[in-house]
Structure 1
Amino acid sequence: MYCRCFAFIFSMTRTMGWIAAACIAVGCGNDSENPGPAAGGAGASDGGQVQSDAGGQGGTQGLEEAGTGGASGTGATGTAGASGGYTPEGGTEDVVADVMIDVPEDAVGSLDCERLVALDAALVAASNEGEKVSLLEQTLVDVEKSDGFPIRCAPDATFFFRRPQGWGHPHLVGEFNGWDPTATPMVLVAEDLYRVTVAVDTGPHRMLYKFSDGVHWVADPMARRFGFDEHGEYSLVQGGNQRGHLERYLGVAGNGLSARPLTVYVPPGYEQSTQSYPVLYAHDGQNLFDPGSIWGGWHLDDVIENLLSSGEIKPLIVVGVHNTTARMDEYTHVQDVVSGQTVGGAAEMYFGLLATRVMPLVASHYRVKAGPENTWTMGSSLGGLVSLYVTLKHPDVFGKAAGLSSTLGWGSIQAHNPTLIEMVPSLGKPDVVLYLDSGGTNGGGCVDSDGDGIRDDNDMASDNYCETEQMRDVLAAEGYEFNKDLFHWHEMGAPHNEAAWSARVFRPLRVLAAP
């Protein structure tokens, strides 16, 4: 591969209370030096063009890696929720550190009310403060592994909150008390650990809440259900039937890989129905929903809500699997050499994590439709590469994949191990549906000047344009049919960042979740 101008940007990612150094490998296109807002837009008139034949060449993007870490973002901070909430004059917003918990794959959500009753009885019988603290801490861990907080035992909900340093007496505030920061004081149950139980409306609508001491406001760092608005993050007692919501799992590990959070999008009306749903597993999950993540994130929940409202897609669950500092290893199928360092090759281990830990956890908590026809995956850059790889290699698990600006030249950057492009002919033609896209341009023409078989040797190309075009052509040669099981889009000039992917993610969603 001719391209050699690699730059590494290390972004500190705060995700669910942990800090990860996320490596962003930026390729040779101009976008890597002067990235700008997304080019193009949502409609067919935005300058993009559907590629419905196998002709045409691509441009060059040696290795242009997606932004991996969320920016400092809103975290668990912000003012009160959307319905009349506010931060008092002179108030401040706090970040509360979250607890990483390795959630077992057999977690269930049917015992929390029984746990709460047992806790109350045990606290009465406890002989000393240390025993009480131990009982409380174990209950917090058990509930997190089950249905999460608050503990909902109709018609009541019980909230726990660990008071941050510098806070006064905490109160529960929310829609149910008009966001009054003095109306619902919490009760101290152990050192800096507070609790309160309130009656809640079990109707088919969402109920927003936060914690406050009258000066500080913070979303519940232990809340399972949450979302974002113009004030930052808010917590939810339950989901509603008008809009979907997000749910969090604080640490899933396995198959030799480190723990990482999951952020799950749950569609409108899920908690009020018995319907089962297809599932989309999306990579770099910390960037999908949080508007405070790098480049503003994907706003994936907003895009989905708009598509649902217009009837362009069917309801689905989205599991955003956060990345780790091992992203370049986990999202790549072979090793490559980047800036003199050998990295990559752990995609099968990552697939094992998905198949043996993440997917069983999801199936234990949600009503999901089984089978590859209802199990899809999506990502961008290296996330796009791993999406296409695991689907082509494991069509018995994943039936559809979408790769946006996928790093399909991986393996040929400064080494020559088999790229996914080169592997396609040996994989046969599995019964899967594939979506490919890129932005950028071909920079004047896609070439293979070093004879390694990959058309990526043009310093002026960008956003993995050439590799995507070549992958499209190879798949078509293997018998994939355009607009049936192969879909391709070129968003002319779009840069390689989350804002650009957000602007066009409606396209792969319409393919994956077609009604």
Structure 2
Amino acid sequence: MIIKQPFYFAPANEDRTLHIYLPDDYGKTDERYPVMYMFDGHNLFYDSDATYGKSWGMKDFLDSWDKKIIIVGAECSHTGNNRLVEYCPYHWDSFVGAIDGTGDETMQWLVNSVKPYIDTTFRTWPHREATGIGGSSMGGLMSLYAAIRYNGIYSKAACLSSAISFCGKELRQAIDDCPIDPDTKVYLSWGTMESRSARGKAIMAACNKSMNDRLYAKGAQLYMYRQVRGRHCEADWEKQVPLFMNFLWR
């Protein structure tokens, strides 16, 4: 079951849609469920909702998966470069100009507004061990940031094709500064076809390995995946759904 719930996004003073997946047996039992919060929620379940007409197909996967979980996908802004701003926790001299990211405000909204709403509205397990986060591209960056800066809330993070090359120094410093619980699980991936140049491919590999090694040194559990011929698109992220879900939730 997918519920589409408008929810007030205070940083932009507007509503954003939460795309909420509930297990098919939700209305038939008194069971409680773990929760995974995800970015770009419109791209998760239905092709008809997805920005480019192709979703991750997560509903089909979850309907047949042997574990039961609630997914909360927060829709991004579709106006101008707002998504880049809201999904960036740092300053970025980007390809569209300088961006002063408000990603931490977005995280505060997820932690202090969305999560309490979900935990009081649905039958969840609210504790850290039953709470994960995930996303791709800028959403992957935000998921990695959340696993580091908000490690007391999120024990698991799926970070696909994460936009981390411009802020590697800041992320490494954050890993050094923040306590990382040894039960933390982080899935890091990138595709070999995401860049056309050899230099770009090398940078992606080096950035992900750097995050992997830094987190491993802090005791976290890592799954680093290089997707051969993987592109920066929903179709190739869909192929990774079984990989990161089984790693994070088993």
Q: TM-score, normalised by structure 1?
A: 0.45
Pair 1:443–1:407, CA change in 2 (3 A): closer
Q: Report the counterpart of residue 152 of structure 2 in structure 1.
A: 396
Counterpart AA for 1:330? E
Distance in 1, matches of 2:202 and 2:15, equals 33
- The partner residue of 2:178 within 407, 427, 430 is 427
For 1:446-465, what aligned pairs fall within 5 Å after superposition? 458-459=199-200, 461=201, 464-465=204-205
Distance in 1, matches of 2:196 and 2:23, equals 44
Distance in 2, matches of 1:493 and 1:300, equals 21
Distance in 2, matches of 1:323 and 1:256, equals 11
Deviations 1:373-412, CA, capped at 9 Å, x for gaps: 0111000111011011012111111111110111111337
- The partner residue of 1:336 within 85, 92, 109 is 92
Deviation at 1:340, TM superposition (A): 5.8
For 1:217-256, what aligned pairs fall within 5 Å after superposition? 245-255=1-11
- The partner residue of 1:486 within 218, 222, 242 is 222
Deviation at 1:463, TM superposition (A): 9.5
Say which one has the larger Rg. Answer: 1
Counterpart AA for 2:97? Q
- Say whether residues 1:469 and 2:209 are aligned partners: yes
Counterpart AA for 2:75? H
Distance in 1, matches of 2:161 and 2:68, equals 25
Distance in 2, matches of 1:443 and 1:353, equals 33
Query: Where do 5+ consecutive residues of structure 2 fail to align?
Result: none
Distance in 2, matches of 1:479 and 1:441, equals 31
Deviation at 1:462, TM superposition (A): 7.8
CA contact (8 A) 1:440 1:463 kept: no
Deviations 1:337-396, CA, capped at 9 Å, x for gaps: 113621142121011111222112212220000211011100011101101101211111
Deviation at 1:286, TM superposition (A): 0.7
Counterpart AA for 1:386? M
Query: Where do 5+ consecutive residues of structure 1 fail to align?
Result: 1-244, 309-313, 413-417, 447-457
- The partner residue of 2:29 within 266, 273, 276 is 273
Distance in 2, matches of 1:504 and 1:258, equals 32
- The partner residue of 1:506 within 222, 234, 242 is 242
Higher relative contact order (CA 8 A, sep 6+): 1
- The partner residue of 1:299 within 57, 73, 86 is 57
Counterpart AA for 1:419? E
Distance in 1, matches of 2:196 and 2:2, equals 43
Pair 1:462–1:493, CA change in 2 (3 A): farther
Deviation at 1:473, TM superposition (A): 2.4
- Say whether residues 1:318 and 2:74 are aligned partners: no
Counterpart AA for 2:106? Y
Distance in 1, matches of 2:203 and 2:53, equals 16
- The partner residue of 1:282 within 38, 54, 59 is 38
Distance in 2, matches of 1:378 and 1:353, equals 16
| Corresponding residue SS for 2:152 | coil
| Corresponding residue SS for 1:396 | coil
CA contact (8 A) 1:316 1:513 kept: no
- Say whether residues 1:259 and 2:15 are aligned partners: yes
Deviation at 1:472, TM superposition (A): 1.6
| Corresponding residue SS for 1:296 | coil
Distance in 1, matches of 2:190 and 2:96, equals 27
Deviation at 1:445, TM superposition (A): 10
Aligned-residue CA RMSD (Å): 2.4
Pair 1:257–1:421, CA change in 2 (3 A): farther
Q: Report the counterpart of residue 188 of structure 2 in structure 1.
A: 436
Deviation at 1:427, TM superposition (A): 2.4
Distance in 2, matches of 1:392 and 1:266, equals 27
CA contact (8 A) 1:442 1:462 kept: no
Deviations 1:78-111, CA, capped at 9 Å, x for gaps: xxxxxxxxxxxxxxxxxxxxxxxxxxxxxxxxxx
Deviation at 1:307, TM superposition (A): 2.3
CA contact (8 A) 1:295 1:499 kept: no
Q: Which has the higher helix share?
A: 2
Deviation at 1:504, TM superposition (A): 1.2
Pair 1:400–1:340, CA change in 2 (3 A): closer
CA contact (8 A) 1:333 1:347 kept: yes
Counterpart AA for 1:438? W
Distance in 2, matches of 1:512 and 1:267, equals 18
| Corresponding residue SS for 1:435 | strand
Deviations 1:443-486, CA, capped at 9 Å, x for gaps: 8998xxxxxxxxxxx14x28933321222222233443xxxx21
| Corresponding residue SS for 2:115 | helix
Aligned residues: 244
For 1:116-127, what aligned pairs fall within 5 Å after superposition? none
Counterpart AA for 1:510? N
For 1:16-415, what aligned pairs fall within 5 Å after superposition? 245-255=1-11, 258-292=14-48, 293=50, 294-308=52-66, 314-324=67-77, 325=79, 326-339=82-95, 341-411=97-167
CA contact (8 A) 1:256 1:349 kept: no
Deviations 1:106-137, CA, capped at 9 Å, x for gaps: xxxxxxxxxxxxxxxxxxxxxxxxxxxxxxxx
Counterpart AA for 2:65? L
Among all aligned residue pairs of Structure 1 and Structure 2, give the percentage whose two residues are the same amino acid: 25
Q: Report the counterpart of residue 232 of structure 2 in structure 1.
A: 496
Counterpart AA for 1:423? A
